[in-house]
């Protein structure tokens, strides 16, 4: 475990023998042993990369954009990943039906609110999900700020204006939105977590909040880094609780992107090296990653 980050006094390094690290290493081993299926309803841009990342992390992938298909396959999938990056006319009704079926069955799912705040159709779809909440939200800072506002958890002060799929806010500015969203989904689903990605990721279950430095800025130069992190989070959710799943996937991504950056010459070779690193990163290396708990 390295500790080279200059941190605020409220950040406390998570000990090597903290039970959360034992849960993370167990989750990483379980994924490798069980090859769990996490299905995805995700965008056309990065669908292939999401599936490849899930396979490289040790899971199994299945993509579908038909509501009936997704609901049926949820009976054999450990979790589902839903990503609203690209939209078609049928999606509003399809996603309304899917998330209500999951609410009824108790099926676990991860939401990636790509480009939240952009466009009336996406806003209608995401606002509706407050009535049938996911177990994990994984997004960038701007997406979390917009989603918390849509779900009535925070008033939008207008300072964050989404410009596309990339964040225009830093992770810290989404901390309150993330905690409010995590508390909301925990109340709705019994257990839940929110992961905000960026230069220093944040993961919270609404009670405990963690910060995860590390990773590589080259992650912002390939499309699908965030989407595939959401997909791999769903892979981990097949074998563990939402907080552990969100932490394990984010720690894996930070370590794997550091490994990839050591050999890459640019975005193209980085993408290939990153998939290889997801494959070779050991459970112990994931669980021993740099991790701080925020205690005010
Ligand atoms: N500046 C950065 N330095 C290191 N890692 C980063 C940086 N920006 C993003 N990442 C990593 O890239 C992955 C995707 O995050 P992000 O780019 O925020 O998602 P999105 O693609 O949804 O906007 C995460 O693993 C995150 O930690
Ligand atoms: C470019 C783009 N446009 C619609 S979805 C998408 C992919 C976004 O991927 P990520 O959020 O992982 O950067
Ligand atoms: Mg994204």
| pLDDT value of residue 162 | 75
Instruction: Return the H-helix or E-strand segment holding 21.
Output: helix 19-34
Ligand 1 atom at minimal distance to the Cα of residue 138 = 22
| pLDDT value of residue 1 | 44
Torsion of CA 116, 213, 221, 231, to 10 degrees: -60
| pLDDT value of residue 38 | 99
**Separation between Cα atoms, residue 202 and residue 180, nearest integer Å:** 13
Instruction: Please state, as a whole number, how many other Cβ atoms lie within 10 Å of the Cβ of residue 284.
Output: 12
Q: Is 197 helix (H, G, I), strand (E, B) or coil?
A: strand
Q: Tell whether residue 152 is among the known ligand binding residues.
A: no
| pLDDT value of residue 17 | 96
Q: Examine the pLDDT at 129 and tell me if it is beyond 90.
A: yes
Residue located via tokens 């997909």: 231
Topology at the third CATH level for domain 11-294: 3.40.1190
Locate the DSSP E strands across 15-59.
37-41
* Longest pairwise C-alpha distance within the chain: 50
Residues in the chain: 296
Each residue's pLDDT tens digit, 47-63 = 999 999 999 999 999 99
Q: Two tokens at 272?
A: 């290939």
Q: Tell whether residue 150 is among the known ligand binding residues.
A: no
Among residues of the chain, what percentage have pLDDT more than 90? 92
Q: Measure the N-to-C terminal CA separation of the chain; round to a whole number of Å.
A: 24
**Mean pLDDT to the nearest integer, 153-163:** 78
Indicate the DSSP class of residue 7.
-
Sign of CA dihedral 294, 166, 225, 62: positive
Does residue 224 have its Cβ closer than 6 Å to ligand 2? Answer: yes
Find, among 181, 159, 156, the residue nearest to 170 by Cα: 159
Each residue's pLDDT tens digit, 60-111 = 999 999 999 999 999 999 999 999 999 999 999 999 999 999 999 999 999 9
Tell the residue nearest (CA) to atom 1 of ligand 1. Answer: 199
**Separation between Cα atoms, residue 159 and residue 150, nearest integer Å:** 15
Does residue 127 have its Cβ closer than 6 Å to ligand 2? Answer: no
Q: Examine the pLDDT at 253 and tell me if it is beyond 70.
A: yes
Enumerate the domain spans of the chain. 11-294
Task: Tell me what ipTM this predicted complex has.
Answer: 0.98
């Amino acid at each position: 475990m390295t500790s080279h980050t200059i941190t605020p006094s409220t950040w406390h390094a998570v000990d090597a023998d903290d039970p959360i690290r034992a849960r993370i290493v167990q989750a990483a081993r379980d994924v490798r042993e069980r090859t769990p299926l996490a299905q995805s309803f995700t965008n056309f841009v990065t669908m292939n990369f999401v599936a490849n990342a899930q396979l490289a992390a040790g899971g199994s992938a299945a993509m579908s954009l038909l509501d009936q298909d997704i609901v049926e396959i949820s009976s054999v999938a450990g979790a589902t990943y839903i990503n609203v990056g690209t939209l078609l006319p049928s999606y509003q009704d399809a996603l309304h039906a899917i998330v209500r079926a999951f609410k009824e069955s108790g099926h676990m799912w991860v939401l990636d609110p790509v480009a939240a705040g952009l466009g009336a159709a996406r806003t209608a779809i995401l606002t509706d999900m407050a009535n049938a909440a996911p177990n994990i939200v994984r997004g960038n800072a701007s997406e979390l700020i917009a989603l918390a506002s849509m779900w009535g958890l925070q008033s939008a002060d207008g300072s964050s204006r989404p410009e596309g799929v990339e964040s225009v806010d830093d992770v810290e500015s989404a901390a309150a939105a993330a905690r409010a969203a995590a508390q909301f989904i925990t109340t709705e689903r019994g257990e839940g977590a929110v992961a905000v990605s960026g230069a220093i990721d944040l993961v919270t279950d609404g009670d405990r909040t963690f910060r995860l430095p590390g990773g590589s800025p080259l992650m912002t130069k390939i499309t699908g880094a965030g989407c595939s992190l959401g997909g791999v989070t769903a892979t981990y959710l097949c074998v563990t609780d939402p907080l552990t799943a969100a932490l394990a996937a984010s720690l894996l991504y930070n370590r794997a992107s550091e490994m990839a950056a050591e050999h890459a010459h640019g975005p193209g070779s980085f993408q290939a090296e990153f998939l290889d690193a997801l494959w070779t990163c050991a459970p112990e290396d994931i669980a021993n990653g740099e991790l701080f708990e925020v205690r005010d």
